[in-house]
Chains A and B, each alone.
Chain A
Amino acid sequence: AQSVSQHNHHVILSEAASLELGCNYSYGGTVNLFWYVQYPGQHLQLLLKYFSGDPLVKGIKGFEAEFIKSKFSFNLRKPSVQWSDTAEYFCAAGGRGRGSTLGRLYFGRGTQLTVWP
């Protein structure tokens, strides 16, 4: 069955600390992977995505993620976080099948990141 796991439910960091949020997925077939961010009171925004090619993906605001196929992982990283990075982060996986399965996303339960100034 398709699923996405985020093991860190709440991460608290000080500014300038490095960040790594874990994401593991279970998916039959070729997978697309995404990280979304939800700032307080705002809607989900795409941080970055992986479809194919270079497994190290760079996104907006200095975030990056690495797809490790052997580990079924797509961890999100940022070398130095800022107070403004405080938000909820969601990992999602989707397939490339045709028809009704195309575009269907499976979300992890989210990780709340709190950055103290």
Chain B
Amino acid sequence: GAVVSQHPSRVICKSGTSVKIECRSLDFQATTMFWYRQFPKQSLMLMATSNEGSKATYEQGVEKDKFLINHASLTLSTLTVTSAHPEDSSFYICSARDWRGGVEQYFGPGTRLTVT
């Protein structure tokens, strides 16, 4: 149980285009999902907290207009990187917290974004 999937696993896009990454909780409902960014040899940096049915809460320094987050259902959150630039190339990881409570997060496998 507690499986989180991400799609796509890898994506390459051109500068200036937008790309959408999906995060799904497969066998549980998630009122809260988290989006992280991981740089090589570095830790996970929380970008935003996504709550079902409400606006996402962004961490300081993260541009909300660039990284659009939508959490339209209890099993799906999406991250859209708009007008992508090469510096947006990174590994994006989502996690989800079970709606029944607890603080554990279940992590997706991540999405490798490369902007050319």
Contact = CB atoms under 8 A, between A and B. Distances in A.
Answer whether A and B are interacting partners.
Answer: yes
Interface of A: 32, 34, 36, 42-46, 49, 51, 90, 94, 96, 100, 102-110, 112
B77 interface: no
B57 A110 contact: no
B43 A90 contact: yes
Contacts of A104: 34, 46, 49
Contacts, number: 49
Contacts of A94: 103
Interface majority SS on B: helix, strand, loop or mixed? strand
B110 A49 contact: no
A49 B104 contact: yes
B32 A90 contact: no
Contacts of B24: none
A112 B43 CA distance: 11
Considering the complex of A and B, which 10 residue pairs feature the smallest CB-CB distances, nearest first? A44-B107, A43-B109, A109-B43, A107-B43, A107-B44, A103-B97, A103-B103, A43-B107, A100-B57, A32-B103
Contacts of A103: 32, 34, 49, 97, 103, 105
Contacts of B110: 43
Given A32-B103, A96-B103, A104-B49, A42 B109 contact: yes
B93 interface: yes
